[in-house]
Amino acid sequence: MLNLLLSGVTQGLIWAILALGVYLSYRILDVADLTCEGCITLGASVAAMLIWKEVNPVLGVVIAFLAGCLAGIITGILQTKLKIPPILAGILTMISLYSINIHIMSLATGASGTANLSLLNFKNGTIFAPLSDLLGLNKTMTALILGIVIVVLIIAVMYWFFGTEIGSAIRATGTNEKMCRAQGINTDTTKIIGLALSNGLIATSGALLCQYQGYSDVNMGVGSIVIGLASIIIGEAIFMKAKNFAVKLSGIIVGSVLYRVVVTFVIASGMPSTDLKLMTAVIVIVALVLTSFAGKFKKKGAKTNA
């Protein structure tokens, strides 16, 4: 029971980084960016390839983050400079990344068309192994601690960044582009920066994920956007009253962890395996309904008070 919970929490924390990235595009920039599904694989492929090349795994994660930023910049340029509708721009980058990810993984093996890169023989090259030795803990606990540290760090940096002049401008862009341009903000630039950071986080999540699950696979991004959105919606349902930005971001983490824990227990409950997708949808719908009901209730309460 405890092991199940720990496993769910740990995975949830790694996915939370992706959820924060999705939050950045979906909520802060108000753009539905589908680059996500290709980008998590990009992060995984870059990190896995660098581990094959015996690069320090911490540096590998940083490079994966930068690769993700680059993907975000490309989506941003497609959207702003080439005026391609946001959803299509994201899809275009996502499908291009499919080929690019195979090329990246092929760099490691030297064989063209490598669609799956195993890290099972590179355990000591991952970020978890040396840390696990250092802390004297098992892989799940190590990942749990590392996950908490990284997530807290990212929230701190995001809290700072979105308080700065550039960060404020990005937030404003997501709310009201016309106002931004009237206030001298180049909304093309703010969107590109926002998408770069969003995808950088998503790739970081992929870079950690591949080391945790032992491989990178060209199809590993399938369904990731739903996981990100579900985490956001669940987090917002729970932290509905949150005003502080850092608390809101923490809500996403809680949402992601909760989502994964629920999936873990749904699987453990012995429900027919074919119903997993249906359960995923039900979890998200329940969270959505809870949010809207609670929202109505709150409004009614406010009216009676007035």
Partner 1 sequence: MLELIDVKKTFNPGTINAKKALCGVDLHLNPGDFVTIIGGNGAGKSTTLNAIAGVWKIDSGKIKIDGIDVSKLPEHKRAKYLGRVFQDPMTGTAATMEIQENLAIAARRGDHRTLRWGITAKERKEYRELLAMLDLGLEDRMTSKVGLLSGGQRQALTLLMATLKQPKILLLDEHTAALDPKTAAKVLEISDMLIAENNLTAMMVTHNMRDAIAHGNRLIMMNAGKVIFDVSGEEKKKLTVDDLIQKFSQNSGDMLSDRALLS
Partner 2 sequence: MKLFKRLTAIALAAILACSCMMMASCEQANNKLPIVCGETGMNDVAGVATYGVNYYSLGVKAGDMAADILLNGADVSTMSVQMDPNPTLTINETVAAEIGFTIPEAVKAKATAAGANTVTRVESAIVESGADFTVGILQLVQHVALDQSNKGFQDQLSVRMAEAGKTVTILDENASNEQSNNVTIAENFVAQKVDLIYTIATSSSQAAAAATEESKIPVLFNAVTDPVGAGLVASMEVPGGNVSGVSDINPVAQQVSLISELLETTDVKIGFLYTSAEANSKYQVDLGIAECEAKGYEYVEKGIGDINDIQAAFTALLAEGVDAIYIPTDNTLANGIATVHSVNMGE
- The residue ranges that bind partner 2 (CB under 8 A) are 3-4, 7-8, 11, 15, 109-113, 116, 118-123, 138-140, 212-215, 217, 219-220, 222-224, 227, 260, 263-264, 267-268, 270, 273-274, 276-277
CA atoms within 13 A on the CB side of 104: 25
Residues 218-257 that bind partner 1 (CB under 8 A): none
Residue 212 binding result from partner 1, partner 2, none, given CB thresholds of 5 to 8 Å by partner type: partner 2
Residues 146-205 that bind partner 1 (CB under 8 A): 161, 163-169, 171-172, 174-176, 178-187
Q: How far is the CB of 181 from partner 1 (least distance, A)?
A: 5
Q: Which is nearer to partner 1, 161 or 265 (CB)?
A: 161
Are 250 and 239 in contact, with CB atoms under 8 Å apart?
yes
Give the 3-state secondary structure of residue 216: strand
Residue 292 near partner 1 by CB under 8 A: no
Give the 3-state secondary structure of residue 117: strand
DSSP H or E run through 126: none
Residue 291 binding result from partner 1, partner 2, none, given CB thresholds of 5 to 8 Å by partner type: none
Instruction: Identify which of 20, 169, 42 has the alpha carbon closest to the alpha carbon of residue 102.
Output: 42
| Contacts for 184 with CB less than 8 Å, ≥ 6 apart | none
Structure tokens at 177: 């582009």
Residue 176 binding result from partner 1, partner 2, none, given CB thresholds of 5 to 8 Å by partner type: partner 1
Instruction: Using alpha carbons, list the distances in angstroms from residue 213 to 120, 134, 178.
Output: 9, 20, 44
Residues 86-125 that bind partner 1 (CB under 8 A): none
Q: How far is the CB of 239 from partner 1 (least distance, A)?
A: 16
Residue 272 near partner 1 by CB under 8 A: no
Residue 260 near partner 1 by CB under 8 A: no
CA–CA separation, 306 and 291 (whole Å): 23
